[in-house]
Amino acid sequence: MESPFKPDILRGKVALLTGGGSGIGFELSTQFGKHGASVAIMGRRRNVINDAVSVLQSLGIPAVGFEGDVRKPEDARRVVEATVDKFGKLDILVNAAAGNFLVAAEDLSPNGFKTVMDIDSVGTFTMCHEALKYLKRGGPGKDPSTGGFILNISATLHYTASWYQIHVSAAKSAVDSLTRSLALEWGTDYDIRVNGIAPGPIGDTTGLSKLRPKEINSGVAQSVPLYKVGEKWDIAMAAIYLASVAGKYINGTTLIVDGGLWLSQPRH
Ligand code: HXC
């Protein structure tokens, strides 16, 4: 679907996206690029990163990819610095990297729990921490009049309780808390806005095929108040809204983009 936003709404911005080579992260990379941003993507799989960068470049988007694991602080620092070396500054950080699998709590090892916490929650904090000096108002390479923007990709499963997702629910709860705390501290001190997006079931993603295989064919669309599975495009448009000047007074919120699913009840 065509974007309703002007193609230059993110002109001149430099964005770094963890998990930006696949799934929702890649759609964000593509749409940010199509709306004027230069894009750096970070991920663990070299071939995924390379393929993603090729696609972005074929669309005329200034793009670069870096292999790295958000669980490793040295990778986080290296990739943030390499992004600034390449594009001269950093305006937008998107934390879209995530790990997930379905498992009953009694079968989940403490290390399995910790692995997802490390990727989703600690990884998000690590990336934010490494990016801070560049995202600050007047940070290296930046326009002195503006601050940066951080977007944390979350979920809705922790709003209630979700079967076989104790690790991800805990991790995304922490992510939402980071969003609020950083919005407070860094919004006040450095003019950095920090927001999240909580996607619902989004078609053609690892999350949906891995976590809700049955619902793809049999029913999730019927349980969403808007009666359809979302598209990656829906998340990207919400992200552009939040990242652009249109969202300049939005700070510390996590925008739910789920068609109303999480609050819905079966019809009696
Ligand atoms: C139980 C598991 C497991 C599984 C791993 N573990 N997979 N336990 N069931 N299916 C446990 C291991 O036994 C181990 O604990 C620990 O986790 C670490 O496992 P490793 O394989 O060493 O970890 P690693 O190679 O780093 O892999 C990370 C991963 C992996 C998260 C486990 O699944 C991954 O990277 N997946 C790809 C990313 C992904 O799924 N993205 C989509 C996100 S969708 P022990 O105790 O044995 O040492 C999303 C949507 C959320 O986030 C919202 C949806 C509604």
Is there a contact between 93 and 19 (Cβ–Cβ < 8 Å)?
Answer: no
Instruction: Categorize the per-residue pLDDT at 215 as very low, low, confident or very high, splitting at 50, 70 and 90.
Output: low
Ligand 1, residues 72, 101, 165: which to mutate, most atoms within 8 A of Cβ? 101
User: Both tokens of residue 174?
Assistant: 């922490």
Q: What is the pLDDT of residues 217-258, one digit of tens each?
A: 556 666 666 767 899 999 999 999 999 999 999 999 999 999
Instruction: Categorize the per-residue pLDDT at 210 as very low, low, confident or very high, splitting at 50, 70 and 90.
Output: confident
Half-sphere exposure of 179 (CA within 13 A, CB side): 25
Whether pLDDT at 212 is above 70:
no
- Taken in order 58, 62, 68, 71, is the CA torsion positive or negative? negative
Q: What is the pLDDT of residues 24-40, one digit of tens each?
A: 999 999 999 999 999 99
> Domain 14-257 is in which class?
alpha beta
Residue 60 CB contacts under 8 Å (≥ 6 apart), including other chains: none
Q: What is the pLDDT of residues 111-148, one digit of tens each?
A: 999 999 999 999 999 999 999 999 999 999 988 888 99
Q: What is the pLDDT of residues 52-88, one digit of tens each?
A: 999 999 999 999 999 999 999 999 999 999 999 999 9
Distance 15 CA to ligand 1 centre (A): 27
Q: Residue 117 has what pLDDT?
A: 98
Instruction: Categorize the per-residue pLDDT at 207 as very low, low, confident or very high, splitting at 50, 70 and 90.
Output: confident
Phi, psi angle pair for 255, to nearest 5°: -85, 120
Pocket of ligand 1 (CB under 6 A): 98-101, 103, 108-109, 111-112, 115-116, 155, 157, 168, 206-207, 210-211
More confident residue, 233 or 264: 233
Q: Residue 209 has what pLDDT?
A: 77
Half-sphere exposure of 1 (CA within 13 A, CB side): 11
Distance 108 CA to ligand 1 centre (A): 10
Residue 211 CB contacts under 8 Å (≥ 6 apart), including other chains: 100, 102, 165
Domain spans in the chain, listed from the N-terminal domain onward: 14-257
Tokens 């709860």 map to which residue?
173
